[in-house]
């Protein structure tokens, strides 16, 4: 027994050192850069977090911080447990009193989706703000790792980022060198709106070997005319649908294009709808939306006549 005592003391000392190190890291200051280029510093990993966009909620859960969410905006419905998080308004109208009452130590904001006047009010409260505005597919992985730093969950965040990057890399390897397909992405039909080349969905189109016919427009979400679409004559028209990747009946906003039989997309029945939650939200599930879009563009390739008109 006397011989074992020094070893027991040594082991106990090692355990104490390990516990101290873990405790210290849990309360160490953390720093990350947001999508505005601003540095966000916290005296310790955030414990009470509010999300001001549905895609942000998904990112926080994927980064391992779901248990720290104390507030979220409407439509924060994924994963399912996010539906139980208290609501603080929507992306256009925030409940500032509710936000203050929840005593957050970090608020994650959608840079261009939240009302600017209310964001200024939030700044006046001196609560740390992390702005999220992913534009490229890899920005999703980068955001995960940054949030993991601020949430004190780097292992979970890095694992999620790695899995997401692998999914995107597999799609890029499979589809990027396939014959290009010209694509009109329809955001809205009245007024008719699309996306330019700086939007993440345009990056998805490129990933799949597609070409956004309105990539060069200046505005992120520009209005276009029917005549402009007809002049561009896209081979495929794609839009987001409400929770149905394959609607049983054609969506009215797509079916109307059949009135122009000279339009390639209409003539070849290349009118595709993708679940909006998978394609519109810049979060890990966009890899699923990208896979669907890639498959749709392959369908468009398969419908080409043997001799192009």
Name the residue ranges covered by the structural domains of the chain: 28-162, 178-302
Q: Which fold is adopted by the domain 28-162?
A: Rossmann fold (3.40.50)
pLDDT in tens for each of the 309 residues of the chain? 444 444 433 444 444 444 444 444 456 899 999 999 999 999 999 999 999 999 999 999 999 999 999 999 999 999 999 999 999 998 778 898 999 999 999 999 987 766 677 788 888 888 999 999 998 999 999 999 999 999 999 999 999 999 999 999 999 999 988 999 999 999 998 899 999 999 999 999 999 999 999 999 999 999 999 999 999 999 999 999 875 444 455 577 898 999 999 999 999 999 999 999 999 999 999 999 999 999 999 999 999 997 665
CA torsion sign for 80, 86, 90, 91 is: negative
Q: 220 to each of 38, 112, 235, 294, how far by Cα in Å?
A: 22, 11, 22, 22
Question: Does this chain's domain 28-162 share its CATH topology with 178-302?
Answer: yes
The domain 178-302 having CATH identifier 3.40.50.1980: the answer here is: yes
Integer Cα distance of 301 and 287 in angstroms: 21
Those residues whose C-beta lies under 8 Å from the C-beta of residue 223, and which sit 6 or more positions away, are 191, 192, 193
What does pTM read for this prediction?
Answer: 0.86
Structure tokens belonging to residue 147? 């949030």
């Amino acid at each position: 027994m006397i011989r074992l005592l020094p070893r027991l003391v040594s082991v106990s000392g090692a355990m104490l050192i390990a516990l101290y190190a873990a405790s210290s890291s849990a309360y160490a200051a953390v720093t990350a850069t947001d999508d505005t280029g601003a540095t966000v510093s916290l005296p310790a990993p955030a414990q009470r977090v509010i999300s001001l966009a549905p895609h942000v909620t998904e990112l926080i859960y994927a980064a391992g911080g779901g248990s720290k969410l104390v507030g979220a905006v409407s439509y924060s419905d994924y994963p399912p447990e996010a539906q139980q998080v208290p609501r603080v308004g929507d992306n256009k109208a925030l409940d500032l009193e509710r936000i203050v009452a929840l005593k957050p130590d970090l608020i994650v904001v959608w840079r261009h989706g939240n009302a600017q006047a209310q964001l200024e009010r939030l700044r006046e409260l001196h609560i740390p703000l992390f702005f999220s505005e992913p534009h490229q597919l890899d920005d999703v992985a980068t955001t995960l790792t940054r949030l993991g730093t601020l949430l004190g969950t780097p292992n979970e965040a890095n694992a999620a980022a790695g899995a997401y990057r692998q999914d995107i890399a597999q799609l890029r390897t499979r589809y990027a060198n396939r014959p290009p397909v010209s694509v009109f992405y329809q955001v809205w039909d009245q007024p008719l709106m699309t996306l330019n080349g700086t939007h993440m969905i345009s990056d998805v189109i490129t990933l799949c070997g597609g070409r956004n016919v309105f990539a060069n427009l200046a505005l992120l979400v520009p209005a276009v005319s029917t005549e402009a679409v007809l002049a561009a004559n896209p081979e495929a028209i794609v839009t987001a649908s409400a929770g149905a990747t394959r609607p049983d009946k054609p969506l009215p906003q797509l079916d109307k294009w059949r009135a122009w039989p000279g339009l390639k997309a209409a003539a070849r029945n290349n009118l595709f709808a993708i679940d909006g939650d998978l394609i519109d939200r810049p979060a890990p599930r966009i890899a699923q939306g990208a896979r669907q879009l890639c498959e749709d563009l392959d369908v468009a390739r398969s419908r080409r006549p043997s001799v192009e008109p």
